[in-house]
Amino acid sequence: MKIGISNLKGGVGKTTVAQNLAVCLAHVGYKVCIVDTDRNQNTISWIAEREETLPKILAVGLTDSKALSSAVDQLDRDNDFVILDGTPSLSEMTTRIILASDLLIVPVLPSGHDIRSMQLFFERFEQAKEFRQDIPIYFFINQFSDSIKLHQSIRELLNDFGVGVMETRFNRRVAYAETSVNGKGVLEHTDEKAAAEVTNFTKEVLEIARKLGFVQN
């Protein structure tokens, strides 16, 4: 199954979501590959730090949009999950990621300003839908904080886009930033609350995958 993590904004958590989902799926025993499509190649740097004793994850850097579709299909044959770590650049790559994905997850920060700027992404999404109508897509709220009042109303703002919003979310936690450079997921960090968040998120992704017919039992 191919899972695209996309949003045309930088810093919303695409890489964080891709890496933590990959780590959790690898711990369950799935064969997982991340395709890093961002020119910064953050996931490629991250994987280079990953300890050999941890569950194995394959990471492939791929910034040529024309090569994406066939490369991802090949990786999909060899792996249970291929996770596409998206690029923020308004390029052909984003359209190709949207079209290549069996499921799209769009991380968003809980700020009204950020959510209103989703227009550009949805223009791309609508264009892509001319080629493939049924593209499952969900928002995922990242860097949530209970103490910020505005965050409570974020679901209502997101509902206006007419796409699903995942039930689970990641709070703002140091563990996410710390693991972004040491090759780990927060599941492999001492922060148990963060570990619970990524575990619940992964369960929700697997539940969606089951409904879509990509995962049995």
Ligand X SMILES: Nc1ncnc2c1ncn2[C@@H]1O[C@H](COP(=O)(O)OP(=O)(O)O)[C@@H](O)[C@H]1O
Residues 164-183 that bind ligand X (CB under 6 A): 170, 172-173, 176-177, 180
DSSP conformation class of 186 = G
Site string for Mg ion, 11-30 (x = CB under 5 A): ---xx---------------
Site string for ligand X, 42-81 (x = CB under 6 A): x---------------------------------------
Site string for Mg ion, 121-160 (x = CB under 5 A): ----------------------------------------
For ligand X, how many residues bind (rule: CB under 6 A)? 16
Give the Cβ contact number of residue 165 at 10 Å: 18
* Cα(97)–Cα(164) distance, integer angstroms: 19
Q: Check: CB of residue 72 under 8 Å from CB of residue 99.
A: no
Query: Phi, psi at residue 42, to the nearest 5°?
Result: -60, -35
**Binding of ligand X at residue 15 (CB under 6 A)?**
yes
User: For the residues of 74-111, what is the DSSP string, one character each?
Assistant: HHHHH-SEEEEE---SSSHHHHHHHHH-SEEEEEE-S-
**Binding of ligand X at residue 37 (CB under 6 A)?**
no
* Cα(194)–Cα(186) distance, integer angstroms: 6
* Cα(70)–Cα(199) distance, integer angstroms: 31
**Binding of ligand X at residue 148 (CB under 6 A)?**
no
Question: By beta-carbon distance, which residue lies closest to Mg ion?
Answer: 15
Report the partner that residue 36 touches, choosing among Mg ion, ligand X, none (CB closer than 5 to 8 A by kind). none
- For residues 38 and 157, which CB has a smaller minimum distance to Mg ion in the complex? 38
- The encoded tokens of residue 21 equal 């989902």
The residues of the shown chain that bind Mg ion, judged by CB under 5 A, are 14-15, 38
The residues of the shown chain that bind ligand X, judged by CB under 6 A, are 10-16, 42, 142-143, 170, 172-173, 176-177, 180
